[in-house]
A and B are shown apart, each in its own frame.
Chain A
Amino acid sequence: MRAIRTLFFCGLIACLGMGCAGSAWLLKAEPDRGESFPDLGLPLPKEVAECAELGLPAGEGEFRLGDIAADIVVVEVFDMYCRYCQEGAPQAAELSALSSSSGKKAKVRMIGIALGNSDYEVALFKSKHNTPFPVFADNDGRYHRALGARIGRPSFYALRLDGERNTILETQSGLFTERSPGAFLERALGRAGF
C-alpha cells in the first residue's frame, strides 16, 4: 500500500512538472522579455497625423521600428477577427493614452500590428473601436511568420528602441486581467530606467 502511495505521489509530481514545462514551451513560441522584437519593416502610415505622432516622414515606403521617435514603443499584436482582441480594444486604448501621457518620464508611442488582416479590415476595426494609435496590416504575413502561430488573443510588447535589438522590456499575453495596462507600462518604464 505504501509503495502504491509513493508511486502515485511521484507520478503526480512528475505530471505537474511536465505540465509546467509544457506551458513554458507553448509560451516560448512568442518572443519574451529580454529578447529582440522582430523589426521587419512596416508601411509608412497613410495619415499625416499618424506620421507626426510617430515622428516619421509622410509618403510611400516602409519604416523600421527604430525609426520611431520615442524611447519606448508599445506594440499590440492582434487579429481583428479574434473576439478577445475585439474585447481588448478599450484596454489597448487605455494603454495608448497612458503611453502618450508618460512624457515626463520618457517618450512612449504605441502601434498595432494586425496579423492576417487586410487594410480594409484594419480600417474597419479602427473605426469600430475608435482606436487611437496607428495600426498596420500584416498584409504579407511577415510578422505572422516571425512571431509564430498565435491563437486568438492580443499580445502587448514594450520595446526599448536601442538600435538593432529593440529589446523587449515587458510582455503581456492576452487581456489585462491580473494587472492593469498602467502597471504594465510602469514595469516597462522601470526596466528601461525611467
Chain B
Amino acid sequence: MKRLETRVLTVAAIVVAVLSISGMAEAGLRDSLFAVGRLKPIDSQLKVAVGETAPDFSLTSVEGKDVTLRKYRRKKTVVLSFVPAAWTPVCSDQWPGYDLAEGVFKENDAVLLGITVDNVPTLNAWVKAMRGLWFPVLSDFWPHGQVASSYGVLRSDGVTERALIVVDKKGVIRYIDVHDINERPDLGVLVKELEKLK
C-alpha cells in the first residue's frame, strides 16, 4: 500500500508540474489579471475643457525618465491615455492594442503618453508582461494621482478614469473622452480627432 501511495504521489506531482508549465506557456498576462467587475462608469468631475491650456506636468516613466508635457509644444500633438490600473482586464487590452496603431500616431505627428496611478515597479512588471509598449508609460503614483486630479479624472477610489485627452502643439486641449471605465474606447474615433489636427 505504501509503495502504491508513493508511486501515485510521484505521478501526481509530475502531472501537476506538467500542467503548470504547459499552462504558463500561454497563460502569462491573462492569468495574472485582477477581475474588477462592473464599475460605476464615470466617477469624477472634469476640471479641464476643450480649448483650455492643458495643465503641465512632469512624471517618471517606467524607463526612469522624467517626461514633461510642455516639452512637446511646437513639436508633437500629445495624446494622454489615462487608464485606471495595472493588471486589470480592459487596461491590459487597451494599451497593447495601441501597439498596432504606432504608425497611425506617427503619421499624425502625435505621441502617446500612458498614465496610471500605479508605482513604477508595478508598471514595470505589467509592461513587461504585456511584452513591452512603444510609448512612454508614466507613473502618477506620488503625490498620489496629482496629475489625474489636475485634469479632473481621479476617481473617488484613487484610480483614474479611462480617459483620452488630445493636446495640440500649442498645448491646448482639443479633445476629451472620459470613457465608461468598463469599456474600451474605439480607436477609430481617436484617430479621426488626430486627423483633424494635421
Cβ-based interface call for B150 (8 A)? no
Among A5, A83, A118, which residue has the most Cβ atoms of chain B within 10 A? A83
Chain B contacts of A125 at CB under 8 A? 100
CA distance A120 to B89 in the complex (A): 22
Interface of chain B, main secondary structure: helix
Across the two chains, which residue of chain A brings its CB closest to B90? Answer: A81
Which A residues between 143 and 183 are near B, CB-CB below 8 angstroms?
A: 151-153, 174-175, 177-178
Q: How far is it, in angstroms, between the C-alpha of A82 and the C-alpha of B131 when the chains are bound?
A: 11
Instruction: Say which size band chain A's interface belongs to.
Output: 20 to 34
Cβ of A16 and Cβ of B29 under 8 Å apart? no
Name the interface size band of chain B.
Answer: 20 to 34
What A residues does B9 contact at CB under 8 A? Answer: 9, 12
Which chain B residue has the least Cβ–Cβ distance from A5?
A: B5
**Alpha-carbon separation in the docked complex, A81 to B97 (Å):** 4
- The verdict on A119 contacting chain B, using a C-beta distance below 8 Å, is yes
Closest B-chain residue to A128, C-beta based?
B100
**With an 8 A cutoff between CB atoms, is A84 at the interface?**
yes
Q: Are A79 and B93 in contact (CB under 8 A)?
A: yes
- Contact string, B86-114, partner A, CB cutoff 8 A, digits 1/0? 00010011101101110110000000000
Which residues on B sit within 8 Å (CB–CB) of A58?
Answer: none
Contact at A80–B8, with CB atoms within 8 Å? no
Q: Which residue of A lies closest to B185 (CB)?
A: A118
CB contact between B96 and one of A6, A9, A83 (< 8 Å): that residue: A83
A13 at interface (Cβ–Cβ under 8 A)? yes
Stretch among B140-148, B167-175, B186-194 lining the A interface:
B186-194
Task: Compute the total of residue contacts between A and B using a CB distance below 8 Å.
Answer: 68
Question: Which residues of the partner chain A approach B99 to less than 8 Å between Cβ atoms?
Answer: 86
Chain A residue numbers with a CB within 8 Å of B30 are 84, 151-153
Q: Are A118 and B93 in contact (CB under 8 A)?
A: no
By a CB distance below 8 angstroms, the chain B residues around A116 are 184
- Cβ B26 vs Cβ A121 within 8 A: no
A124 near B94 with CB under 8 A, answer no
The answer to whether A152 and B93 touch across the interface, beta carbons within 8 angstroms, is: yes
Question: What CA separation (Å) do A82 and B95 show in the bound complex?
Answer: 9
Interchain nearest-CB distance for A19 vs B (Å): 8
Of the A-B pairs whose beta carbons lie under 8 Å apart in the complex, a sample of 30, sorted by A's number, is A6-B5, A12-B9, A13-B8, A16-B16, A79-B93, A80-B97, A81-B94, A82-B96, A83-B96, A83-B130, A83-B131, A84-B30, A86-B96, A86-B99, A116-B184, A118-B186, A118-B187, A120-B186, A120-B187, A120-B188, A121-B97, A121-B187, A124-B100, A128-B103, A151-B30, A151-B33, A152-B93, A177-B25, A177-B26, A178-B22
